[in-house]
Amino acid sequence: MNNDIAKVLLDETQIAAVVDGIAEKINKDYKNEELVVVGILKGSIMFLADMFRRLEVSCSLDFMAASSYGSSAVSSGKVTIEKDLSSDIKGKHVLVVEDILDTGNTLSYIKDYLKEKEPLSVKICTLFDKPSRRQKPINPDYVGRTIPDLFIVGYGLDYNEKYRNLSYIGVLKPEIYS
Which of these, 56, 58, 75, 55, lies nearest to 67 by C-alpha position? Answer: 75
C-alpha triplet 126, 71, 98: angle, nearest 5°: 10
Pick from 39, 43, 144, 154: which binds Mg ion (CB under 5 A)? Answer: 43
From Mg ion, ligand 5GP, none, interface partner of 105 (C-beta below 5 to 8 A by class): ligand 5GP
102 is an active site residue: yes
Query: Does 144 interact with Mg ion (rule: CB under 5 A)?
Result: no
Q: What is the DSSP letter of 31?
A: T
Query: Does 156 interact with Mg ion (rule: CB under 5 A)?
Result: no
8 Å CB contact between 114 and 89: yes
User: What is the Cα–Cα distance from 41 to 26, expressed in whole angstroms?
Assistant: 21
Which of these, 58, 138, 150, lies nearest to 98 by C-alpha position? Answer: 138
Q: Which is nearer to ligand 5GP, 26 or 153 (CB)?
A: 153
The distance of closest approach from Cβ of residue 80 to ligand 5GP in the complex, given in angstroms and rounded to an integer, is: 12
Catalytic residue among 50, 84, 88, 102: 102
Query: Does 140 interact with Mg ion (rule: CB under 5 A)?
Result: no
Give the residues lining the site for Mg ion (CB under 5 A). Answer: 43, 99
